[in-house]
């Protein structure tokens, strides 16, 4: 059964958007830590999903902050 058939989110192979902007321990392009980037190819599915969940939460938080800012 595929992820789509199971109702799970389909994800790209990697969060990388090919805009590498490392600042401190974080890439401002994909928002992963440099450690996450280095380990990505060796991570199992659960470890990758944990990174995706953190990135999703970050995106959701940023969207909420932007909406709050617009509503005044």
What pLDDT, in 10s, does the model give residues 3-29? Answer: 555 666 688 999 999 999 999 999 999
User: Does some domain include residue 3?
Assistant: no
User: Does some domain include residue 6?
Assistant: no
User: Does some domain include residue 58?
Assistant: yes
Domain count, the chain: 1
Q: Which domain holds residue 64?
A: 44-72
- How many Å is the Cα radius of gyration of the chain? 14
CA distance 26 to 37: 9
Task: Quote the percentage of the chain above a pLDDT of 90.
Answer: 65
pLDDT recorded at residue 67: 83
Strand, coil or helix: 42: helix
pLDDT recorded at residue 37: 98
Asked if the model's pLDDT at residue 55 lies above 70, the reply is yes
User: Does some domain include residue 57?
Assistant: yes
User: Does some domain include residue 34?
Assistant: no
User: Does some domain include residue 61?
Assistant: yes
User: Does some domain include residue 72?
Assistant: yes
User: Does some domain include residue 64?
Assistant: yes
Mean pLDDT score, 55-68: 87
User: How far from 39 is each of 25, 50, 51, 71, CA to CA, in Å?
Assistant: 14, 13, 11, 40
């Amino acid at each position: 059964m595929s992820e789509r058939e199971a109702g799970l989110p389909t994800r790209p192979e990697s969060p990388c958007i090919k805009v590498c902007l490392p600042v401190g321990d974080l890439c401002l392009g994909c928002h992963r830590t440099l450690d996450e980037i280095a380990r990505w190819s060796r991570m199992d599915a659960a470890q990758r999903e944990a990174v995706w969940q953190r990135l999703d939460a970050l995106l959701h938080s940023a969207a909420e902050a932007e909406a709050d800012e617009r509503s005044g």
